[in-house]
Structure 1
Amino acid sequence: MRSRTRTVRAGTALLCVLLAGVSGGCRQGGVPEGSSPFTGKAARAAPVLAVKIDNVRAARPQTGLDAADLVYVERVESGLSRLLAVYSSRLPSAVGPVRSARESDLELLRQFGRPALAYSGTQAKLEPVVEAAPLYPLPPGKTGGAYFRDRNRAAPHNLYLRPERALKAAPGASTARDIGFRFGAAPSGGRNTASYTARYPAARFTFDWSAERRGWFVSMDGTPVKAASGQRIAVPTVVVQGVRIRPSRYHDRWGASSPYTETTGSGPARVLRDGKAYEARWSRPSPDGGTDFTTASGTPLNFAPGQVWVVYVPEDAVGGGAG
């Protein structure tokens, strides 16, 4: 499978060389120049900012999710969830509520080079590990007034970030680069799917296909996710990625172990796009590299251009969820 993927990549690279004199060439990975490697849509080269976002009921509705290029869904203590939203193509005026980082975030973010990471803090023993990681840590106090509190919400669910101000504290943050995603026409096959639900012990995410919006409406614990305008967020591509989730070395203040999500290695996945579900495999051999998604035949599996959500679930939970 890996050899076939390398062959396809080599062919893509050759095609880019041949097209260079005609259309200005291609970005690494086959995404055209002037397009985002995160969404496949037109975008300028810009720094990468990741923001850790609260996702308990008291934190909703969140602000700025609709502007993210990528949204990663991770399991945390007590079977709950947190979001890691990645911005580069565009920056909203505010993002939040912002909460604490986890050890899993460090491995996940290495594929972006040296991005900026905004978060509200960490478990004390994890703090030096975050400081030593290849990223720009941007907790409150390091960002020159980039954070503010919403007095209409109760703490700790009321801390928000002004992304443009935050990035001024990370002048060397990496710009968006290839992380393995491929965009284009849908593969053949797939199963017609109107709805899909991914579950954690104390959280669930449902994606309902909207032919009119050409995307999947997102609901969290039964509540529709909406932009500040009141319009529901419709995601063109959703990846349900089967991974190993194990206890980490760190615990919360009550002694509960923080789950560690392993994002390197390989495993099963299900990709939702265009009203269908596609069985897939993912592979990320190194933390410094991106993740390849392939079909059962081993060919790259294209995503639909636009925002991508990646939901990490245990490997044995990928098969269920389709409605």
Structure 2
Amino acid sequence: MRLPRIITVTLAGAAVLLPVAACSSDEPAPGKAPQAATAAPSEEPTKEPPGHPFTGQPYDELKPVLAVKIENTAAGKPQLGLKSADIVYIEQVEAGLTRLMAIFSSKLPPKVGPVRSARISDLHIAPMFGKPAFSYSGAQTKMLPLIAEASLFDVGDTRSPGAYFRQPGRVAPYNLFGRPKQMLANAPKASKAKDIGFTFGEAPAEGGVERKSYTVKWPAARFTFSWSEQKKQWMIFQDGKKDMAAEGGQLSAPTIVVQYTKTERSQFHDKNDSYTPLVHTTGKGKAIVLRDGKAFKANWERESEKGGTTFTTESGEPMNFAPGQVWVALASRKPVIP
């Protein structure tokens, strides 16, 4: 009597020994029911890590959000820490100048600054991130109650003095810098990064116009974003000069969003009676999205202050950003693409 051969079949990673009758016929042996064919094992598809909601890049975990108000005039340059930001907002302030609000979450720089005073527009942007930690240095007295009521955790220099220091070689008030790790330690319940409406991925197949540069103007400030094919980044210039980082190199980003908003006078003004602009970041409007050496016309919408800001193409499809840091220039003039 011939003994059955033993073969090994791998099923879902386990080795199984099965007897095989020594006959060449496909017919079942007498008294035996036909056996169903064994499906070939299949491999589980490899899943790419989901993109970070602020940058579209891979991440291990979502971390707390820190917003820092940063000086943006020649007296405060070069700024420190901006290269580590996920998002950088350019906001108009008094006298037609601009100031930055940098959003950190996926990574923190050891130091950041110069840290400057808060503005009313900040309090309307912050709720989009839930209840982030907010770093700033002072504010007008009548604005302090509004900060206390805002959707944020106050980690300003008066609330978290140990997180700040004066940088040697800088002149006050442009010498106040902070340590983000300590700031967040003082806001243990700060909201973690979440969906804020941004989408990342391939650029739209249609609608983009080749651009080597794009300039955005405010009454007393001018930004130019110039595409570098070699670096695949928009190199940032302010008032005709390279915008350099204190860490070294020129500031740049793969995506620049020029978000055209309604800007009007607020109830606040500085000591020279120059009014503080209120930038409206809720509602609807037009935008220009710069990525991959092209300019795309887009629409933006933010239904409420707690909601995110979505960007869509003129045909209504999601306006994807290139993965990486995003700069959002909150401008008041209408977009122009020749």
Q: Does 1:183 pair with 2:208?
A: no
Which among 233, 238, 250 is matched to residue 215 of structure 1? 233
Which among 74, 77, 94 is matched to residue 77 of structure 1? 94
CA 1:148 to 1:250, structure 2 compared with 1: closer, same or farther past 3 Å? Answer: same
Q: How does 1:93-242 map to 2 (within 5 A)?
A: 93-189=110-206, 190-242=208-260
Q: How does 1:306-321 map to 2 (within 5 A)?
A: 306-314=324-332, 316-319=333-336
Cα distance in 1 for partners of 2:306, 2:132 equals: 12
TM-score calculated relative to the size of structure 1: 0.88
Deviation at 1:22, TM superposition (A): 5.5
3-state DSSP of counterpart to 1:131: helix
Deviation at 1:226, TM superposition (A): 2.6
Cα distance in 2 for partners of 1:195, 1:49 equals: 31
Cα distance in 1 for partners of 2:161, 2:171 equals: 23
Cα distance in 2 for partners of 1:264, 1:74 equals: 15
Deviation at 1:100, TM superposition (A): 0.5
Deviation at 1:248, TM superposition (A): 0.6
**1:275: which partner in 2?**
293
Deviation at 1:257, TM superposition (A): 1.3
CA RMSD, aligned part only? 1.5
**1:38: which partner in 2?**
54
Which among 272, 276, 298 is matched to residue 316 of structure 2? 298
Contact 1:93 1:162 in 2 (8 A): yes
Residue deviations 1:11-45, cap 9 Å, x none? xxxxxxxxxx9566xxxxxxx75531000012231
Cα distance in 2 for partners of 1:202, 1:144 equals: 32
Cα distance in 2 for partners of 1:109, 1:64 equals: 20
- The gaps in structure 1 that reach 5 residues or longer are 1-20, 25-31
**1:60: which partner in 2?**
77
Q: Does 1:262 pair with 2:280?
A: yes
Cα distance in 2 for partners of 1:51, 1:184 equals: 27
Residue deviations 1:301-320, cap 9 Å, x none? 10000000000111x43226
Contact 2:81 2:247 in 1 (8 A): no
Rg larger in structure: 2
- The gaps in structure 2 that reach 5 residues or longer are 1-43
Cα distance in 1 for partners of 2:276, 2:246 equals: 31
- Residue type at the aligned position of 1:256: S
3-state DSSP of counterpart to 2:141: coil
Q: Which has the higher helix share?
A: 1
Contact 2:137 2:158 in 1 (8 A): no
Residue deviations 1:45-93, cap 9 Å, x none? 1100000000111000000111100000000000000000000010001
Cα distance in 1 for partners of 2:79, 2:241 equals: 12
Deviation at 1:234, TM superposition (A): 2.3
**2:28: which partner in 1?**
none
Percent identity (aligned)? 49
3-state DSSP of counterpart to 1:281: strand
